[in-house]
Structure formats: C-alpha cells, structure tokens
Amino acid sequence: MRTTTRIDQLRAVVAAQRRRGRRIGLVPTMGALHEGHLSLIRLAKRKSDFVVVSIFLNPTQFGPKEDLRRYPRDLKGDAAKCRRAGADLIFAPGVKEVYPEGFSTYVNVEGITQGLCGASRPGHFRGVATVVCKLLSMVRPDLAVFGQKDAQQAAVIKRMVRDLDLAVKIAIGPIVREPDGLAMSSRNACLTPEERKQAAALYRSLKLARRMVRDGERETGAVKREMARLLRREAPLGAIDYIEIVDNETLRPERKVPGKALVALAVKFPKTRLIDNAVL
Ligand code: AMP
C-alpha cells in the first residue's frame, strides 16, 4: 500500500491500474479512522479491485466557529488501519494541493441541503459537494463508498452525481456502532467521559422512535416529542440541535410518518456536535 500527497502521482498510479483492467473504488474520509470507515474500505474492496482511501480534513466544510482545529488527526495510525482493511492507496493531500491560490469554483446542491444539518451548518454541504466532486474528478473511480451515518451527505452526493452526470456508482455502507449503540465517529474522541456515557442516549431515542412507529404511531410530532423527552432526561449535557422525521428520498419533514421515513437528529455537547439517524 502506498501513500501520496500529490494529485499527479495519484492520477498516475490509478491510471496504471485502470490500464490493467482494474475497477477503481474510492472511500473519502477526513481521517482519525475507526471501524465505521474500515467497514466502508472493506465494502469498496469487495466491489472493486483497487481501493483509494482519501484522508483530507476539508476546511471548506467547516464553519468559522466549528471544530476544524480540534478535529483529531492520526495519519500514521490511519495508514496502518487502511492497510489492514485492504486499501491499496492512501491519498492524503495538503490543503494547498486541493485548494491552490485563487481557487474559486464551488458545487452547490440545492433543496435537500436546506434542512437538517444544512440548517445549522450553512455552507457545510457546499464544502462537502465541492471536495467530493474534486476527489471524483482526481480519482475517476468506478465506485465511491459513503456511510449511512451521514445520511444527508449521502443523499447530497447521490443528487450531485445524478445532476452532473458523473460516471460513478455510489454505494452506501450501514452505520457501525459501539457496543452501547453510539454511532462511531471521529468526534467521539472529543467527548468527556460523562458526555460519552450520555451520548448513548442518541441511539436509544432512535430505537424509541422505531418502537413507536412499529406500534402504530403515525404523528411525527408525537414521536419527536418522546425522543426529545428521552434525550433531555438521559443526555442533559447535550442540547438538541434538531430531531426530524423526513421522507428518505426528498429529506423533507412530514407531519405523518411517510412510507420510507428517516429519523435524524443532531445533539450539541458543549464542544462536540453528534449526529445519528435510523430508517423507519
Ligand atoms: P468522515 O471521516 O467523518 O468524513 O467520514 C468518512 C465516511 O465514513 C463518510 O462517508 C461517513 O458517512 C462514513 N462514516 C463515518 N462514521 C461511520 C459509521 N459509524 N458507520 C459507517 N460509516 C461511517
């Protein structure tokens, strides 16, 4: 497994593989890799022959007051994990390589970026779509793999690929969780021990939603109220940013639980914002 920080080297290595008839897979990440990321690498390896993992802490998807500077980094540890998971190449560019002097072109996906995380993180999905579009253009993979953990991001990328006629297949891997149900996230390392304990309540609130809907509740308002009560009780250190029940395709909030529903939430602990979701 090789590591490169340069776009020209990345292109040369991938082109040589493509000439040999290999199918190329891409797994974009921001590093501080955990089992969730590794499951995506393994998924990419099953569905393609040569897997590129990008590790790039993308500044354009962080707001000015967000946690870019505190975000965990561990390139050495990441490389060892990638190798064990079956990655073939790590692309870990610096910020100047991706956004050179004078950079001024952005990809803006409209509509589905307005609600959920888009509402509390203005500009976030513009940064995500731009960097993913650039990575797809650099690697030109046959397949790119993303996680259901970031459900809105997955929807935004699928929309962008369709709208811009990008010749890549998108695969979405399931959410990998800790034993107590907390969705794995690089940001979990930033939680204090007490916050970490309370953070498991996010998953319990999603399971409560699932139970209520299975038992016949159709009013999204009633489900959201019970979820909020659970979170206020069991995760008092966290402030609820949003709890929404949306149509899984359009991501629009609904008053009645739709046929294909996604329940999504974000909770802000003092220094760490967590998100999670479940398909109902
Ligand atoms: P990030 O490094 O946070 O940008 O995440 C890189 C990719 O890993 C994204 O497609 C995420 O959705 C995915 N991912 C993050 N956490 C998990 C998880 N717990 N389970 C599955 N995929 C995940």
In this prediction, what percent of the chain has a pLDDT beyond 90? 100
Sheet holding 169-173, edge to edge: 2-4, 89-91, 50-55, 24-29, 143-147, 169-173
Output the CA 268–ligand 1 centroid distance in Å. Answer: 18
Provide the pLDDT for residue 96.
98
Asked whether 151 and 249 are in contact (CB, 8 A), the reply is: no
Query: Measured from the CB, is residue 151 less than 6 Å from ligand 1?
Result: no
Q: Is the CB of 149 under 6 A from ligand 1?
A: yes
Q: Which atom of ligand 1 is nearest to the CA of 187?
A: 3
| Distance (Å, whole) CA 139 – CA 91 | 10
Which residues, 6 or more positions from 63, have their beta carbon under 8 angstroms from its beta carbon? 121, 122, 123, 124
Mean pLDDT of the chain: 98
- CB < 8 Å & 24+ apart, contacts of 119-126: 119/242, 120/241, 120/242, 120/266, 121/63, 121/66, 122/63, 123/60, 123/61, 123/63, 124/61, 124/62, 124/63, 125/61, 125/152, 125/153, 125/156, 126/60, 126/61
Q: What is the pLDDT of residue 100?
A: 98
Q: What is the pLDDT of residue 202?
A: 99
Q: What is the rounded distance in angstroms from the CA atom of residue 90 to the CA atom of residue 28?
A: 10
Residue span(s) of the chain under CATH 3.30.1300.10 come to 186-275
Q: pLDDT value at position 56? A: 98
pLDDT per residue as tens digits for the range 152-200: 999 999 999 999 999 999 999 999 999 999 999 999 999 999 999 999 9
Topology at the third CATH level for domain 2-173: Rossmann fold (3.40.50)
Q: Is 34 a catalytic residue?
A: no
pLDDT range class, residue 31, cuts 50, 70, 90: very high
Q: What is the structure's pLDDT at 154?
A: 98
Q: What is the pTM of this model?
A: 0.98
CATH of domain 186-275: 3.30.1300.10
Ligand 1 near 190 CB (within 6 A)? no
Q: What is the pLDDT of residues 103-134, one digit of tens each?
A: 999 999 999 999 999 999 999 999 999 999 99
Catalytic residue among 27, 28, 37, 188: 37
- 202-220 pLDDT, tens digit per residue, is 999 999 999 999 999 999 9
Q: How far apart are CA 142 and CA 256, in angstroms?
A: 38
The whole-angstrom separation of Cα 139 and Cα 150 is 22
37 lines ligand 1 (CB under 6 A): yes
Stretch 18-45: mean pLDDT, rounded? Answer: 98
Give me the pLDDT at residue 134, please: 99
